[in-house]
Structure 1
Amino acid sequence: MAKSEWHGPFDPLSDPDEQTHLLSVLSSFLSYRRHAHYNGTHIRRQAFYSLPSSHWTLLSSPPFSVLSSLSKLDDLIDAHAELAEAIFKVGFKAFLAPRLDSEWVAAVVPEKYARDEFRVYAAVMERLGVKAGRADVDKAKSCVNQFYREWSAEGALEREKCFDPVVGALNAEFASRALTAPDMDRSELSVLAPGAGLGRLVFDICRAGFTVEGNEISYHELMASSLVLNHTQTARQYTIAPFALSGSNHLTRADQFQTFQVPDIHPATDLARAAGNSRVPADERMSMATGDFCVLYSQPDSCETFDAVATVFFIDTAPNVIRYIEAVRNCLRPRGIWINLGPLLWHHAARPPPSDSSSDEEMKDSNNNTHAHAHTHADAGIADPGSVELTDEEVVALVEHLGFTIEKRESGTIETGYISNPSSMLQNIYRPSFWVARKK
């Protein structure tokens, strides 16, 4: 990313509720190993030994060897935990460490751990006493699995289906503009990528030579993207087994336990190789903004900032998609383009309106554990009440009604999975809509 890893107006440690949430996210990565072993193998062993003794004895022996499989799963969990703990360290150093008093840290960390960075951070977290909530624990698990889609060689097929059309549309837009401005550098085309996830689309857009700003509200994904983009030392540094923790629909144990090395490339090295695509260095063309998309990009200071907005598997995260369309329209320059690819799996379907009796925890759950900083902004963004589920035809009509012209539209021509195991007995396939709209 750029020299400053994240930017945006919101300081999570300035608000008590947001600070608690941030600490819960950090704790979810820190406690990944313990939670995964408990839920992944401890409970399974308990259930296995609850079988009649003659049955579990039979299944303990070849060719079944269930206990050996659980031991293998323990090893894979430990490999996952190395990645989760690396994400924890990146997040701790970025968000928490700068605010800590060194004398207080020295007082709470046992001297024998003083030279062990991970132990120091873990001791601080223990003293702070915030434990990860269930939603954050689940998010940490899915975030680790997300590395398969975005940063493994085997995930390239999903990326080709979902990211390549976006980069292709940006290339076409640049080529069109260059017809009237032959000296135009690719860096002069500025792109916003909301819902940036683990940063691969942002990286791919930057590698193509454009200037790109990712936007992400999830601390889990911000920390994970920072690890892979800024702090990995080599390609294939970590090992993941994203299908191992689910015991269903596998043809063989080898299918269940297949491993993948991430990231498939070393981002900094790969960007250096692509330096010829722009006259501007990559670290000056790539950045990440943290915060609610609606809030950040509806502001006057975001007005007419970008030449293109690229949304992939994103717009269905909107309770009210009109808010997203308005934010895109606000931040696009005149004649700018909006490239969208994704399904409509509405994340906030039938979200109940808030009531005076709703607890804070209930509100977090109903908002899919998305923190939109409603307590510090008059505009609550994604936390605004209400939701609506539209068809693809209705979304496109709404985009046109709100100031865009659809220049390209395809539906049913792209088929892709999402963190899909090609060997599984169950296959979920998306046929996402793909369109390019131009701001009038």
Structure 2
Amino acid sequence: MELDMSNEETSGDFNPMSDPDEQKHLLSVLDSFSRSYRRLAHFNGTHVRRQAFYSLPSEHWDLLSKPPFSVLESLSKVDDLIESNAELAEAIFKAGFKNFLAPTIDSNWVATIVPEKFARDEYKVFSTVMDHVSVDSSETNLDKARSCVNQFYRDWSTEGATERSKCFGPVMNALQNEFQLHSAKAPGLVKSDWKVLVPGAGLGRLVFDICLAGYSVEGNEISYHALMASSLTLNHTTKVGEFTVAPFALNGSNHVRRSDQFKTCRVPDVHPGTALDTATGEMSMSTGDFCVIYNQPGSRDTFDAVATVFFIDTAPNIIRYVEAVRNCLKPGGIWINLGPLLWHHVARPPNPDGGDKEISTHSHEDTGIADPGSVELSDEEVVALVEHLGFSIEKHETGQIETGYILNESSMLQNTYHPSFWVARKN
């Protein structure tokens, strides 16, 4: 089963190259995975550190160069791990290029700029095209590329299973309980008849797991970084453990042992193509602003359930999210939410330039998360708002779940969340 990367925000085929701002952003995202990731990871991860190391008094760096410290040897190991991460980043680049850029490019023009010796090397062909277009590198996109590569540890590694279980497990249990209630009233009901929406789908693991459980599921994502990464994993990986990720390599702080910094994991932990061959449900992904897409008349009363995990705090205006969920959810349908409230748009200026949005929505009167303004609510206030806007809270727990987010369990610094978990039914 290949993930359908259709865009429901616009009619017809989605062409991000048709708008100058969208084109500029997309090219910057592609560049952040291809030419920039490897170069800047080496520069910031080891080159700058070597310069600082050699700035120490010579007798000091000479001492620290030898066992048991071997600082220079450790930096060389980091360089090797950066290469492994860069292989994954460049694979994401190729998947993204094929999905978003290749359909818009004149193949005859490509043939005139690509040397014959590169003709059978996808990465070389795509990189040559990037060399011939104007690309503005963005520090924000470079940071997102690094974060996206590390995200594979949480979503697609065996080592990340503990975090996934704590965050996805309650959602899957709530879906199962709700389906059993419905099937008891309608004995002929099968899971594939049930439609589930996952906004903020990220790298696609929860979408995949829900589909594998038998439901028909649609993910939604606004980030090109995440869309490209999920497309690679779901559509283009060939085997389990195809890539090696070192999620902690670029962080030199709070390690008990140097080996903790060098931990690696193999991804994906399951081959999605093989696993989905026997799936009975359908799986798709929509691209664009959740508020814009799912608050339209065409999305009204569409889904039996909406599942949001570590998502609602990405809303500048949480009312927009609640309205979109209410619109697309069937009467009596449930909204399952799990996550903290690390509000992403703190004190956003009243006239933002839109630089932090991913896929533009300027062609719509409703601009979704691009609207000005932001607000930060407590969990108690969020639940009260959800009830005020047409839902009944049937379950609400706080402090029952403890989880990290891409957590290095060996680190001397442990950042953990105690997320809120609630289930709301549309009245």
TM range (shorter): over 0.9
Distance 1:64 1:270 in 2: 45
CA distance in 2, matches of 1:377, 1:211: 28
Alpha-carbon shift at residue 429 of structure 1 (Å): 0.8
* Aligned residue type for 1:249: N
Give the match's secondary structure for 1:340: strand
Q: Give the match for residue 168 of structure 2.
A: 163
CA deviation string 1:115-169 (max 9, x = no partner): 2111110010011031421110110000000000000101001000000111111
Q: Distance in 1 between matches of 2:218 and 2:361?
A: 23
* 1:15 and 2:19 correspond: yes
**Contact persistence 1:26–1:92 (CA under 8 A):** yes
Q: Which residue of 1 aligns with 2:242?
A: 237
Spell out, residue by residue over 1:42-89, the C-alpha distance to the aligned partner (whole angstroms, 9 max, x if none).
111111111111111111111100010011000000000100000000
Alpha-carbon contact 2:4-2:283 (below 8 Å) kept: no
Q: How far does the alpha carbon of each residue in 1:330-361 deviate from its partner, in whole angstroms, 9 at most, with x for none? A: 0000000000000000000111111xxx7x4x
* Structure 1 residue 5 corresponds to structure 2 residue 2: no
User: What is the rounded CA distance, in whole Å, between the counterparts of 1:266 and 1:67 in structure 2?
Assistant: 37
Distance 1:76 1:108 in 2: 33
Q: Aligned partner of 1:43: which letter? A: V
| 1:372, distance to aligned residue in structure 2 (A) | 4.9
Question: What is the alpha-carbon distance in structure 1 between the residues aligned to residue 289 and residue 75 of structure 2?
Answer: 41
- Give the match's secondary structure for 1:160: helix
Structure 1 segments unaligned to the other structure (5+ residues): none
Say whether 1:257 aligns with 2:256: no
Q: Give the equivalent residue in structure 1 for 2:151.
A: 146
Residue identity opposite 1:208 in structure 2: A
Q: Does 1:390 align with 2:382?
A: no
**1:182, distance to aligned residue in structure 2 (A):** 0.9
Alpha-carbon distance in 2 for matches of 1:170, 1:11? 35
What does residue range 182-193 of structure 1 map to in structure 2 within 5 Å? Answer: 182-193=187-198
Q: Could you tell me which residue of structure 2 aligns to residue 411 of structure 1?
A: 398
TM-score, length basis structure 2: 0.97
- The match for 2:31 is 27
Equivalent position to 2:203, from 194, 198, 204 = 198
Q: Distance in 2 between matches of 1:28 and 1:291?
A: 20
- The superposition leaves residues 263-310 of structure 1 with CA deviations (integer Å, 9 ceiling, x where unpaired) of 11111222345x4xxxx3x4xx10000000000000000000100000
| Aligned-partner Cα distance in 1 for 2:41–2:76 | 13
- How far is the alpha carbon of 1:2 from its aligned partner? 4.5
| Paired-residue identity, % | 68
Aligned to 1:434: 421
Corresponding residue of 1:317: 314
Counterpart for residue 290 of structure 1: 287
Name the aligned partner's letter for residue 389 of structure 2: L
How is 1:206-245 mapped onto 2 (pairs within 5 angstroms)?
Answer: 206-245=211-250
Match of 1:303 in 2: 300
1:381 aligns to 2:368 (yes or no): yes
Instruction: Give the RMSD, CA atoms, in angstroms.
Output: 1.2
Shift of 1:188: 1.0
Q: Which residue identity does 1:387 align to in structure 2?
A: S
- Residue 372 of structure 1 contacts residue 380 of structure 1 at CA under 8 Å; is this kept in 2? no
Contact 1:372 1:381 in 2 (8 A): no
The residue number in structure 2 matching 1:79 is 84
Unaligned runs of 5+ in 2: none
Equivalence for 1:124: 129
Separation (CA, whole Å) in 1 of partners of 2:359 and 2:285: 17
Q: Indicate if the aligned counterparts of 1:148 and 1:154 stay in contact, CA closer than 8 A.
A: yes
Contact 2:224 2:359 in 1 (8 A): no
Asked if 1:97 is matched to 2:97, the reply is no
| Per-residue deviation, 1:3 | 5.4
Number of aligned pairs? 422
Paired letter, 2:32: S
TM-score by length of 1: 0.94
Question: Which among 52, 69, 72 is matched to residue 64 of structure 1?
Answer: 69
| 1:323 alignment partner AA | R
Contact 2:5 2:287 in 1 (8 A): no
1-side partners of 2:72 and 2:399: how far apart? 44
Aligned 8 A contact 1:417 1:429 in 2? yes
Return the alpha-carbon distance in structure 1 between the equivalents of residues 271 and 121 of structure 2: 26
Query: Is residue 371–residue 383 contact of structure 1 (8 Å, CA) maintained in 2?
Result: no
Whole-angstrom CA distance in 2 between matches of 1:11 and 1:379: 20
Q: Which residues of 2 match residues 363-378 of structure 1 at below 5 A?
A: 363-364=354-355, 369-378=356-365
